[in-house]
């Protein structure tokens, strides 16, 4: 038993036990298990790419990317432009990504150059840059020259709404793609396959000669320099890769959620992504795709199962308080695991 716990990591073992206990409790109070499993699969698929964005950042040596909002805002811009031009369905989804990627590459490059000038303080500076980007974009959302009635405030005729519905454009295009049922459990095949595709791209790159150079630069700078590896360039590549994944990830998240969330919403994406990959066993110097899968699954499963249980067991405003305590408690606990675990 001790060997099993050591293999999977004690924190993940405790979280898994807590999750199993919650599932048993949910079944005992007649919460449909099929509905919980469906929600877990959907939430895993819609959040996993945002967590995946942490992998190239860690591997390149810039640490956990707390500036995830930088990539997210360009994903939102891509989606808004596709709606402005009345693109819908899978076409609108792909065009959103094609618009977002060049913007994410450009600003990811500039951000990577900046991080090379403040080595050792990347996560702190990233947090501040994230707040600054979101604040600047709050002004942009108010003055952006969009004209579509779906995007702007009905009263006044200018300024983007806080929440933009995707019902008539790209809502659930991946969720519904090749979806099938196992009993009462709905499997969002397209959503899971798209994550698998992104994860495969990251895996292939990390196994390539260029990816190996990036990992060496991130894990041991002096050794990398002694072997002729341009550490600064590899850090920039990792930053660009992470920013692009964040841009793509928010588009995937939004189509699944059914809405675009503007203004301050991008600020709240980084912490859950960081918490997920740390719970999965990653550290500040080491991150793998398996950490993304395990961490996202555990984090989202806890939220999916805990919230309906709390709603039934707690009354009134107390349920909201307990939900906040659980979600923030998971994040705080994860931030204490920056040393990582064996995986």
In a domain, 341, yes or no: no
Among 340, 205, 192, 226, which Cα is nearest to 280's?
340
Give the per-residue pLDDT at 343: 46
Q: What is the rounded CA–CA span in Å between residue 214 and residue 305?
A: 38
Question: Which uninterrupted H or E stretch holds 116?
Answer: helix 89-116
Domain membership flag for residue 109: yes
318 in any annotated domain: yes
- Measure the CA–CA gap between 224 and 232, rounded to whole angstroms: 11
Residue 1, domain member (yes or no): no
Residue 52 located in a structural domain: yes
Residue 16 pLDDT: 85
Residue 35's pLDDT is what? 92
Q: Helix, strand or coil for residue 148? A: coil
Looking at the structure of the chain, the number of domains it has is 1
In a domain, 123, yes or no: yes
Taking 70 as the pLDDT cut, the residues of the chain under it are: 6-7, 156, 315-320, 323, 334-343
Give the span between the Cα atoms of 214 and 197, in whole angstroms: 21
Residue 25 included in any domain: yes
Domain extent for 248: 10-335
What confidence score (pLDDT) does residue 233 get?
94
Question: Which pLDDT score, from 0 to 100, does residue 30 have?
Answer: 87
Count of CB atoms situated within 10 Å of the CB of 215: 23
CATH at residue 312: 1.10.3470
Q: Which of 280, 328, 265, 302 is nearest to 54 (CA)?
A: 280
By C-alpha distance, which of 68, 47, 148, 163 is closest to 111? 68
């Amino acid at each position: 038993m001790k060997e099993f716990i050591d293999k999977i990591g004690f924190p993940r073992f405790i979280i898994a036990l807590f999750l199993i206990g919650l599932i048993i409790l949910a079944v005992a109070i007649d919460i449909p298990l099929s509905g919980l499993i469906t929600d877990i699969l959907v939430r895993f698929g819609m959040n996993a790419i945002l967590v995946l964005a942490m992998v190239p950042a860690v591997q390149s040596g810039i640490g956990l990317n707390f500036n995830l909002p930088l990539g997210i805002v360009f994903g939102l811009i891509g989606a808004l432009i596709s709606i402005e031009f009345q693109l819908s369905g899978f076409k609108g989804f792909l065009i959103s990504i094609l618009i977002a990627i060049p913007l994410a590459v450009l600003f990811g490059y500039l951000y990577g150059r900046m991080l090379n000038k403040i080595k050792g303080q990347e996560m702190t500076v990233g947090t501040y840059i994230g707040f600054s980007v979101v604040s600047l974009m709050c002004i942009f959302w108010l003055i952006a020259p969009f004209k579509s009635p779906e995007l702007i405030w009905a009263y006044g005729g200018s300024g983007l709404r806080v929440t933009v519905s995707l019902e008539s454009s790209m809502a659930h295009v991946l969720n519904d793609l090749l979806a099938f049922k196992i009993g009462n459990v709905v499997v969002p095949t397209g959503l899971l396959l798209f994550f698998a595709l992104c994860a495969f791209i990251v895996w292939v790159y990390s196994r390539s000669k260029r990816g190996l150079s990036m990992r060496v630069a991130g894990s041991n700078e002096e050794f990398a320099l002694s072997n002729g590896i341009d550490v600064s360039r590899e850090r920039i590549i990792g930053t660009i890769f992470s920013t692009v994944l964040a841009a793509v990830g928010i588009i995937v998240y939004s189509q699944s959620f059914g809405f675009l969330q503007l203004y301050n919403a991008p600020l709240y994406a980084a912490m859950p992504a960081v918490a997920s990959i740390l719970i999965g066993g990653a550290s500040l110097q080491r991150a793998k795709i398996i950490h993304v899968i395990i961490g996202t699954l555990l984090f989202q499963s806890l939220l999916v199962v805990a919230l309906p249980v709390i709603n039934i067991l707690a009354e009134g405003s107390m349920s909201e308080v307990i939900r906040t305590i659980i979600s923030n408690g998971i994040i705080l606990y994860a931030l204490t695991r920056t040393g990582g675990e064996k995986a």
